[in-house]
A and B are shown apart, each in its own frame.
Chain A
């Protein structure tokens, strides 16, 4: 079964608005990563947050991690049409090399 589950499955917003995507997972992790996939392309790494971190920023991205709730959120501020893509969270099991990906949130940013 999937370790990470993103919510919502699809999100449509106007350009300039903020987009928030959530990820829940089931077992202990060392870190959690977010990736973006544009249509027809490979996944691109966005940000990694370790299990002892609670919040991390990178440009217009803000990621939070709540290990007690086994959940993470990705916030994209001031969205742009170019942010239109699918966003995946990926978790590794504690002591494991393997990344397990959720099924993603499909974000559409309308100009």
Chain B
């Protein structure tokens, strides 16, 4: 099993640019989570999908953030326009059910200059 796959692993961009992060969950998992990790705030849940449907996006910081899950094997997190305060490590995780064990991807380290 390849585990949760995220791309890119590292992204450096300039303020104002659009950033798209990608995630492929573990095959058969029906829940997908996007998290953001910073030193100051720790690990924060941004959005949760169940069966490809967004269930709770209350953690999305603001309208500049959007997430989609067009099918069971792919999700994107988009930031437009990006700002320096968006610099963080973004993790995708998947699970078979919402509250059980979550399997994390390796993360995307984003730096917005």
Complex CA distance for A101 and B46, rounded to whole angstroms: 13
Q: Are A104 and B99 in contact (CB under 8 A)?
A: no
Number of A-B contacts (CB under 8 A): 51
For residue B42, CB closer than 8 A to chain A, the reply is yes
Query: Shortest CB–CB separation between residue B72 and chain A, in angstroms?
Result: 17
One of B42, B97, B101 near A45 (C-beta < 8 A)? B101
Interface residue A44 (Cβ < 8 Å from any Cβ of B): yes
Docked-complex contact A42 and B99, CB < 8 angstroms: no
Number of chain B residues close to chain A: CB under 8 A:
23
- Name the one of B42, B56, B102, B107 contacting A99, with C-beta atoms under 8 angstroms: B102
Tell me the interface secondary structure of chain B in the complex: strand
Q: Are B106 and A41 in contact (CB under 8 A)?
A: yes
**Pick the contact of A98 from B42, B56, B106 — CB < 8 Å?**
B56
A102-B55 contact given A33-B101, A43-B104, A97-B99, CB 8 Å threshold: no
Chain A residues, Cβ within 8 Å of B4: 42
User: Chain A 60-98 against B: per-residue CB contact (8 Å), 1 yes, 0 no?
Assistant: 000000000000000000000000000010001000111
Interface positions, chain B 13-69, Cβ under 8 Å from A, are 31, 33, 42-43, 45, 48, 50, 55-56
Number of interface residues of A (CB under 8 A): 22
Extra contacts besides A42-B91, A97-B97, A99-B99 (11): CB < 8 Å:
A35-B104, A41-B107, A42-B4, A42-B93, A45-B103, A88-B43, A97-B56, A97-B98, A99-B45, A100-B45, A102-B42
- Chain B positions within 8 Å of A, measured between CB atoms, are 4, 31, 33, 42-43, 45, 48, 50, 55-56, 91, 93, 97-107
